[in-house]
């Protein structure tokens, strides 16, 4: 689908590298048509070795001059410096896809020039193992074809949905930041096993696999989580005793508030 494109990945760190790997391994694009940048030349050399044919450079301007599609995967803090540096070298018809947390399509359009086609994407780190969850929103000048191309890139590393942009800060709080909450859950579950006398190795393996398996069951069956939970809770049994304890301590409220706080932080990033 991207066979006619030349893609520049500006800031090929965790997310950028995952997207490069996904695009190449799913044969969305040949490695020769991708150019990756970051400031550390040795890290770029390693990437070029990992993906034979991939072009790399520490020069963002050189990278975008050739590109018909730009993936902006730098940190939000580097945004102003990088955009100022490249904007005059980006063609008006070039699609810019940004994964920068909190940065609106309006902000991106202002940065690149009012009529630039831009798409805001919010992936998450499971994209590193092709199990990412990404939400996408198109800017004013992005076409349906642009959106399809963007979706195909993120579907190469997991699942991708298009959402109204007003929901993007909530997405950042939910799935963008969500892996952090799940890791805390796995860690706590592991500690719980250790407290009951299990070895940390056994407890950690069972905790992670339980989270993975429960998520897979929810996705594969499409069943409501409450129904799946009911299937685990035997009357008078162990699971319902634990569920009652979690309810007593406000697990749901805690998560709802945590996502709310992350959403507010994402909103604030656009103003910085």
Ligand X SMILES: NC(=O)c1ccc[n+]([C@@H]2O[C@H](COP(=O)([O-])OP(=O)(O)OC[C@H]3O[C@@H](n4cnc5c(N)ncnc54)[C@H](OP(=O)(O)O)[C@@H]3O)[C@@H](O)[C@H]2O)c1
Interface with ligand X by CB under 6 A: which residues?
A: 10-11, 13-16, 37-40, 43, 60, 73-76, 78, 82, 99-101, 122-125, 176
Minimum CB distance to ligand X smaller for 138 or for 203: 138
Enumerate residues 6+ apart whose C-beta is below 8 A from 207.
Answer: 186, 187, 189, 190, 193
Minimum CB distance to ligand X smaller for 87 or for 223: 87
Residues 136 and 163 sit within 8 Å (Cβ to Cβ) = yes
* Smallest separation, CB 107 to ligand X (Å): 13
How far is 213 from 173, CA to CA, in rounded Å?
A: 23
Q: Which residue is nearest to ligand X (CB)?
A: 13
* Smallest separation, CB 210 to ligand X (Å): 22
Pick from 78, 210, 203, 98: nearest CA to 153: 98
Minimum CB distance to ligand X smaller for 14 or for 221: 14
* Smallest separation, CB 188 to ligand X (Å): 20
CA end-to-end span of the chain: 36
* Smallest separation, CB 3 to ligand X (Å): 26
Minimum CB distance to ligand X smaller for 180 or for 241: 180
Minimum CB distance to ligand X smaller for 14 or for 114: 14
How far is 211 from 259, CA to CA, in rounded Å?
A: 19
Residues 161 and 150 sit within 8 Å (Cβ to Cβ) = no
* Smallest separation, CB 222 to ligand X (Å): 26
């Amino acid at each position: 689908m991207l066979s006619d494109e030349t893609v520049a990945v500006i800031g090929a760190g965790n997310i950028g590298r995952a997207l490069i790997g996904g695009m190449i391994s799913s044969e969305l694009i040949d490695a020769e048509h991708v150019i990756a940048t970051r400031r550390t030349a040795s890290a770029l050399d390693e990437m070029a070795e990992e993906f034979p044919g991939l072009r790399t450079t520490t020069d963002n301007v050189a990278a975008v001059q050739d590109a018909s599609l730009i993936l902006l995967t730098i940190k939000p803090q580097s945004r102003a410096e990088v955009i100022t540096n490249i904007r005059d070298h980006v063609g008006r018809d070039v699609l810019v896809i940004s994964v920068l947390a909190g940065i609106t399509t309006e902000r991106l359009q202002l940065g690149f020039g009012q009529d630039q086609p831009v798409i805001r994407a919010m992936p998450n780190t499971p994209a590193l193992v092709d199990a990412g969850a990404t939400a996408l929103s198109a800017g004013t000048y992005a076409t349906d074809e642009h959106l399809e191309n963007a979706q195909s890139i993120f579907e190469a590393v997991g699942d991708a949905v298009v959402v109204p942009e007003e929901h993007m800060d909530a997405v950042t709080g939910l799935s963008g930041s969500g892996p952090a909450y799940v890791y805390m859950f796995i860690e706590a579950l592991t500690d719980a096993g250790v407290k009951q006398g299990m070895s940390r190795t056994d407890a950690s393996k069972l905790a992670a696999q339980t989270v993975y398996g429960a998520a897979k069951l929810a996705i594969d069956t499409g069943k409501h989580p409450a129904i799946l939970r009911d299937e685990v809770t035997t009357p008078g049994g162990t699971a319902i005793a634990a569920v009652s304890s979690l309810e007593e301590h406000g697990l749901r409220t805690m998560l709802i508030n945590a996502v709310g706080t992350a959403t507010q932080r994402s909103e604030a990033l656009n103003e910085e």
